Amino acid sequence: PIPSELVLPFAGFLVGEGVSIEPITGSPWNFALTVLAGTIGATAGALVAYAIGYWGGRPVLQRWGRYLAISEDDLVRTERFFERHGNKAAFFGRMIPVVRSLVSFAAGIARMRLLPFTVYTFLGSLPWTALLVLAGVQLGANWAEIGAVLKRFEYAIIGVLGIAVLAFIW
């Protein structure tokens, strides 16, 4: 339920920092193991969304989809799309923000075969996970320099965040 875009860069930060101890092994954080754990987590989350789509998605959307502007034709097109391009969608969809979250649900509704879905989801999640962890590694390895640059913009950043919070509340 927590987006990988938040968790994985922080894990990468801990890898790049070089002094944090990973709680399971008691060793310093490791890039390859962090990417593997993130990819397994992404695949597990995708399987949950797939199951929701598989067992509840179509009937729920047939009943309530009109409130989300989803028609029966949309469901049929989704099923046809996954019959032709399901493997590619499961693989490449993992690398596109927002689509990453929706492709699993759609694959479940379309009843894509589970084994190919799982394999392509794992393989498609791997480069995205590695990229997010690598971004965090760079952040952790260069934290002092980045902090010095951000310090110059501290008040502007606080102001923008304050305006965003007020806009959200309003």
pLDDT band of 68, cuts 50, 70, 90 = low
pLDDT band of 70, cuts 50, 70, 90 = low
Per the model's pLDDT, the better-predicted residue between 123 and 18 turns out to be: 123
Average pLDDT (75-79) is: 72
pLDDT band of 35, cuts 50, 70, 90 = very high
- DSSP state for residue 4 in the 8-state scheme: H
Q: What are residue 71's phi and psi, to 5 degrees? A: -100, 175
Q: What is the pLDDT of residue 13?
A: 87
* CA neighbours closer than 13 Å in the CB half-sphere of residue 20: 18
Each residue's pLDDT tens digit, 102-161:
788 888 888 888 999 999 999 999 999 999 999 988 887 777 777 777 777 788 888 888
Average pLDDT (17-33) is: 82
| Average pLDDT value over all residues in the chain | 82
Inform me whether the pLDDT recorded for 95 exceeds 90.
no
